[in-house]
A = this chain, B = another copy of it.
Amino acid sequence: MFSARLNERSARLATSVCLGIDPRPDANAYTHPARHRHDARAVAQSVADYFTAILENSHDLIACCKPQSAFFEALGVPGLEALQRVMARARELGVPVVLDAKRGDIGSTAEAYADAYLSDGPLAADALTVNPFLGLDTLEPFLERAVAFDRGLFVLVRTSNPGSADLQGLPVPSAAATATAQVPLFQRLAAALAERAAGLPADEHGYGPLGAVVGASHSQEAASLRELLPHSIFLVPGYGAQGGSASSVAPAFDGQGLGAVVSASRSLTYDPALREVDDLTELAHAVRRRVEAMRADLQRVAPTASAYGR
């Protein structure tokens, strides 16, 4: 089961790092050299080479990787080919791939997205991020594929951006309690997800295929969500460049220091300090040092990880 594979890998390698793979425009002199400025195919090629090298150099330090589909899509068809290559290399190295594509649609269209990313096609990942705005019925095709193909999804519950309050933070009636009790929308959503997750297959620690995205900027909320969602692994963005610290992500972990992975991208792979470097070996080593530091930082708040499942 995806949840068990992720937690067991996390415990075995004593890491909660989710390596964000975000090939941002003009991010460094290796992936985006000036001579490739108008050549998406050349950029896509060096992006694939870059992240392949990073995975090869740092795979033993990461729980999973998370390619951000948007940056690959921005490179067009060559970008999708690069994404496919990076995902294939991760698979060969045994690194679970969480594709961050935030898909969501209704009925047969949701089925098509689930077929694309959670079945066994060339763009299939181990897990996919999913947007629940269209309704809980729209999650079903994703859950069905996740169960059938042993994959996972991470439903957006509380994102790390300032504007996440606009809709996710609105007060709504609590579904469970009396009509007058109000909760933030994300909490009501989480309660509904918890109910759905309880009806899905689970691993021996209670985790199943229905995970949740809970941003690092909402530390106190993460603690109550952790209680509310015992069957859900949390994907926690917002560490590093977005300002989240190890202590702010601590509440996302369970009592065994598991049940969560923390993603960072810019601060690991596109540190501004490395912007002018164009040597792949030097870059891959520099990224490894940053991944090591993040892993150690997270170990301080989730120290029992290495004892899990032994």
With A115-B74, A136-B166, A138-B161 known as contacts, the answer to whether A68 contacts B109 (CB < 8 A) is yes
Contact A70 B133 (CB under 8 A): no
Contact A165 B112 (CB under 8 A): no
With A77-B122, A170-B173 known as contacts, the answer to whether A70 contacts B160 (CB < 8 A) is no
Q: Which residue of B lies closest to A23 (CB)?
A: B112
Interface centre among A81, A117, A123, A168 (most CB of B within 10 A): A123
A16, chain B: closest CB distance, angstroms: 21
Chain B residues, CB < 8 A from A106: 159-161, 163
- Which of the candidate stretches A52-60, A184-192, A248-256, A280-288 sits at the interface with the other chain? A184-192
Q: A76 at the A/B interface (Cβ < 8 Å)?
A: yes
Q: How far is the CA of A189 from the CA of B185 in the complex (A)?
A: 14
Q: How far is the CA of A113 from the CA of B102 in the complex (A)?
A: 11
| Partner of A113 from B70, B80, B112, B121 at Cβ < 8 Å | B70
Interface band, chain A = 35 or more
With A70-B105, A70-B116, A77-B80 known as contacts, the answer to whether A163 contacts B185 (CB < 8 A) is no
Interface centre among A40, A81, A161 (most CB of B within 10 A): A161
Contact A77 B81 (CB under 8 A): yes
Contact B134 A163 (CB under 8 A): yes
Q: How far is the CA of A107 from the CA of B241 in the complex (A)?
A: 12
Contact A135 B163 (CB under 8 A): yes
Q: How far is the CA of A7 from the CA of B78 in the complex (A)?
A: 35
A178, chain B: closest CB distance, angstroms: 14
Q: How far is the CA of A185 from the CA of B134 in the complex (A)?
A: 12
Q: Which residue of B lies closest to A237 (CB)?
A: B106
Chain B residues, CB < 8 A from A108: 24
Q: A156 at the A/B interface (Cβ < 8 Å)?
A: yes
Q: A227 at the A/B interface (Cβ < 8 Å)?
A: no
Q: Which residue of B lies closest to A138 (CB)?
A: B163
Contact B185 A166 (CB under 8 A): no
Q: How far is the CA of A107 from the CA of B238 in the complex (A)?
A: 12
Q: Which residue of B lies closest to A192 (CB)?
A: B166
Residues 218-262 of A contacting B (Cβ, < 8 Å): none
Q: How far is the CA of A136 from the CA of B105 in the complex (A)?
A: 19
| Partner of A133 from B81, B105, B123, B133 at Cβ < 8 Å | B133
Q: A84 at the A/B interface (Cβ < 8 Å)?
A: yes
Q: A89 at the A/B interface (Cβ < 8 Å)?
A: no
| Partner of A74 from B80, B112, B132, B170 at Cβ < 8 Å | B112
Given A70-B105, A73-B112: 18 more A-B contacts, CB < 8 Å: A22-B109, A68-B105, A74-B116, A74-B121, A76-B80, A76-B84, A76-B121, A77-B123, A102-B105, A134-B161, A135-B164, A135-B167, A135-B168, A136-B163, A137-B163, A167-B189, A171-B173, A185-B185
